[in-house]
Chain A
Amino acid sequence: MEPLVAHLWIIPALPLAAAAVGAAAPRGARRLAAGSAIAAMLGALAVSCLALRAALADPSAHLVCNFFWFDLGDGAVRLGWLLDPLNALMCVMVSLVGLLIFVFSLGYMADDGHYSRFFCFMSLFASAMLCVVVANSLLLLFIGWELVGLASYLLIGFWFERPAAAAAAKKAFITTRIGDLGFLLGLVWLYDTTGTLLLYDGGNGVLESHALGDLAAQALAFGLAAPTAVSLLVFCGAAGKSGQFPLHVWLPDAMEGPTPVSALIHAATMVAAGVFLVARTFPLFSADAGLAAAPLHALSVVAGIGAVTALLGAAIAVAQNDLKRVLAFSTVSQLGYMMLALGVGAWVAAIFHLLTHAFFKALLFLAAGSVIHAVHHEQDIREIGGLGPRMKVTAATFAVGMMALSGVPFLFSGFWSKEAILHAAADWGPSRLPLYAGLAGVVLTAFYMTRLLCEIFRGPPRSPAAAHARESPAVMTVPLVVLAVGSVALGFLGTPAFPWIQSRLSGAEVPARPLLDGGALMALSIVLVAVGLGAGWALYGRRPRATAAAPDPIAAAAPRLFAFLGARMRLDELYAATVGRLNSLAAVLADVLDRWVWGGAVALLARLGEFTGLVNREVDEAGLNSGFDTFSEDLRRAGRAYSRAQTGEAHGYLRTLALAFVVLALLVLFGGAR
């Protein structure tokens, strides 16, 4: 039997086939669409598990299966599949979380008329992400990457009859496209230098020493070393997809899609793609580390962007009143943590956090979906309230997710992965700022998640819908429970005492340390989490909001700050005033250019054509036609003249005959004819 890596294409192909089935199925075939989607995800999960087992047999190896696609000039474009612990773990995570979200959607979308379209797009989304994960070629990865963008566009705009959803879909697509442009440029540069886009190719791939050496040998460009520049271009794409500042603006708006879509985007697929890309191409990003001439290291930029994003997202999340937007900004913030970890060189910690985050963020979104489903699509947390006693399973699982996200110590996975990131940031030489940003983010995260939990589940119900809320059906709560178990259990695979994930990912055995070997930093972060939770409880939990109109405690204390954060730091307005204005200016310029310069040229050409046509017509009419016209007119006139003789009167004819006879006779008599 061939090695498993040659069959990795099955993993993305199964959901793709399900998407095809969903697309071809008639609109009423709900069971067929949903069933094929879930069956495909189950199949993908099974193959992913096999792949994980194969990858763990030798964690340090990169198994590849490359194949020829087409000739291009002198070279050939080759694609391939890759199998190592990193992408095997990602595959399992994506297909497992995806599967649970699909099952949840069965209940959540039960009332929607476009059931099969939904499952078709979801399958396409999962398929594209799995393609990104298993690709061993940056080109193939890019193809999957763009398909992820397409599927996210289709799903965010799933309820496209709502203008907000259509606008959000467009925003997501265009914002990520800005990043993708950088990514594509990076790929072109890379191909130009190394002549290949395969990641691993027996020593010749772009992530291996040969190609990286070529790249490092290039001269500086724009004040950057070539590896730095290429890495930063690739990072543009990652920042777009992973919602990093300044391209994070699409992520909160993406909440316009159905909640399972948000869960899929935020947990398993789209935003994970950017972090995965940087982790995947980590050798490229760290290639400039040894270059003495490099004025700027790519990873420093990544760390800086990550730190800014982590802090910014957490701060904005504090002042949001929309249930899903709070979660969206928490995703932005957590992605910032992951980028921060990548930037400080701890890509293993980043992936660990990515995996744990996938579980608890999927959990939080699905629990939020359950809440939204129960209160008839009310998303304003001020209008909900008091759901704790009414929706026990949802409340309990939401609390698990919330504690995992806040990093409540010891029991929850989020604590261990965040701890790993903070330690890596503390060990980073160049700057302490990422560490401080991370620590500040910890307080804010604990605070806003406590606020969210208290607002939704405590206090009196503040609207009729909330008062009549009921627990969701089992098809929705069972995935929640599974994810809650995952959110707790996954942490134990990465504790300092049992660094299973770290060892497998890095390919080298990481020595186990005592469980509480965190020292002062761990104590500090525990204290900070406690501060955040305590402050949240003091402001929102002790005396829960009584009515929907009651002011927020922070808004009462610092109204301008709260309004500033609530308006998302006015970044959207800033973009509208700068980039948007610039764009409309360019549009006006293009319009003028088009209308007067190019349009003028075209009009001139048209006039010229018109003129020659006119000349042609004159020549035709005056020169050619008049000749024929006169001739036929003469002919007609002659006919008319002769026809006058043809009176029809027999006497006339006889007289003419007689006259002619007389003339003939006279001619014969006197004309000399013999």
Chain B
Amino acid sequence: MSALQICLAFSSLLFAVGLAGALARSNSILVLLGIELMLNAANLNLIAFWRFGPHGSAATGVVFVIFAIAVAAAETAVGLALIISIYRHQQSIRLEEATRLKG
């Protein structure tokens, strides 16, 4: 088993854990954590394909991933702000109860 394949298998596992967390949890923060895990699994794939790809000398993969992490951080901030506002509104962050967009 090559190093690339080990990386891909690991990232698939990571993705599956994230997906299971996002689907099974009803706490919004934990769902957000699951989503974050899936995103990082994708980032890991990007790094792996860059590291074992034909143009390993140029820093394209790293730059790409750093951008993705920055954007994900901004997304997470927005998501957490939404969760706080939902909590203020209905005294709960359970995802099953947040079914309405109407304030």
Contacts and interface: CB of A to CB of B under 8 A. Distances in A.
Interface string A642-674: 000001111100110010000000000000000
Contact of B19 (A649, A650, A651, A658): A658
B99 A658 contact: no
B29 to A, nearest CB: 13
A648 B99 CA distance: 4
B22 interface: yes
B22 A649 contact: no
A649 B95 contact: yes
Interface in B85-101: 95-96, 98-101
A651 B23 contact: yes
A612 to B, nearest CB: 52
Nearest to A650: B95
Nearest to B19: A658
Interface in B69-103: 95-96, 98-101
The 5 closest A-B pairs by CB, nearest first: A648-B99, A650-B95, A649-B99, A648-B100, A654-B23
B31 interface: yes
Interface string A203-229: 000000000000000000000000000
B96 A649 contact: yes
Interface residues of A, number: 8
A378 B100 CA distance: 97
Contacts of A647: 99
A654 B101 CA distance: 17
A655 B98 CA distance: 16
Contacts of B23: 651, 654-655, 658
Contacts of A649: 95-96, 99
Interface string B16-41: 00010011001000010000000000
A296 to B, nearest CB: 106
B101 A648 contact: yes
Given A647-B99, A649-B99, A651-B23, 4 more contacts: A650-B98, A651-B26, A654-B31, A658-B19
Contacts of A658: 19, 23
Interface size class of B (residues with CB under 8 A): 10 to 19
Nearest to B101: A648
A650 B19 CA distance: 14
Contacts of B95: 649-651
B100 A650 contact: no
A649 B101 CA distance: 10
Contacts of B96: 649, 651
Interface in A610-660: 647-651, 654-655, 658
Interface in A422-443: none
A410 B21 CA distance: 147
Contacts of A655: 23
Interface of B: 19, 22-23, 26, 31, 95-96, 98-101
Interface on chain A toward B: helix, strand, loop, or mixed SS?
A: helix
Interface of A: 647-651, 654-655, 658
A648 B101 CA distance: 8
B101 A650 contact: no
18 contacts: A647-B99, A648-B98, A648-B99, A648-B100, A648-B101, A649-B95, A649-B96, A649-B99, A650-B31, A650-B95, A650-B98, A651-B23, A651-B96, A654-B22, A654-B23, A654-B31, A655-B23, A658-B23
Nearest to A662: B19
A647 B99 CA distance: 7
Contacts of B100: 648
Contacts of B99: 647-649
Contacts of A648: 98-101
A346 to B, nearest CB: 112
Contacts of B98: 648, 650
A555 B74 CA distance: 131
A658 B19 CA distance: 8
A647 B95 CA distance: 12
A651 B22 CA distance: 8
A464 B22 CA distance: 122
A2 to B, nearest CB: 98
A525 to B, nearest CB: 118
Nearest to B25: A651
Contacts of B19: 658
Nearest to B102: A648
Contacts of B22: 654
Nearest to A648: B99
B11 to A, nearest CB: 14
Nearest to B34: A654
A654 B24 CA distance: 10
A647 B26 CA distance: 16
A658 B23 CA distance: 9
B19 to A, nearest CB: 6
A649 B23 CA distance: 12
Nearest to B35: A654
B71 to A, nearest CB: 19
B72 to A, nearest CB: 17
B82 to A, nearest CB: 11
Instruction: Pick from A648, A649, A651, A658 the residue with the most CB of B within 10 Å.
Output: A651
Nearest to A649: B99
A654 B31 CA distance: 10
A558 B100 CA distance: 114
A649 B94 CA distance: 10
A519 to B, nearest CB: 127
Contacts of B101: 648
A655 B24 CA distance: 10
A648 B100 CA distance: 6
A540 B26 CA distance: 131
Nearest to B28: A650
B64 to A, nearest CB: 21
A525 B99 CA distance: 127
A649 B28 CA distance: 12
Contacts of A651: 23, 26, 95-96
Contacts of B26: 651
A647 B22 CA distance: 18
A651 B97 CA distance: 11
A193 B23 CA distance: 115
A598 B48 CA distance: 103
B30 to A, nearest CB: 12
A647 B31 CA distance: 18
B2 to A, nearest CB: 20
Nearest to B96: A649
A673 to B, nearest CB: 19
Nearest to B97: A649
A655 B96 CA distance: 13
A122 to B, nearest CB: 86
A216 to B, nearest CB: 107
A658 B15 CA distance: 11
Nearest to B98: A650
B36 to A, nearest CB: 14
B44 to A, nearest CB: 17
Nearest to B24: A651
A648 B23 CA distance: 15
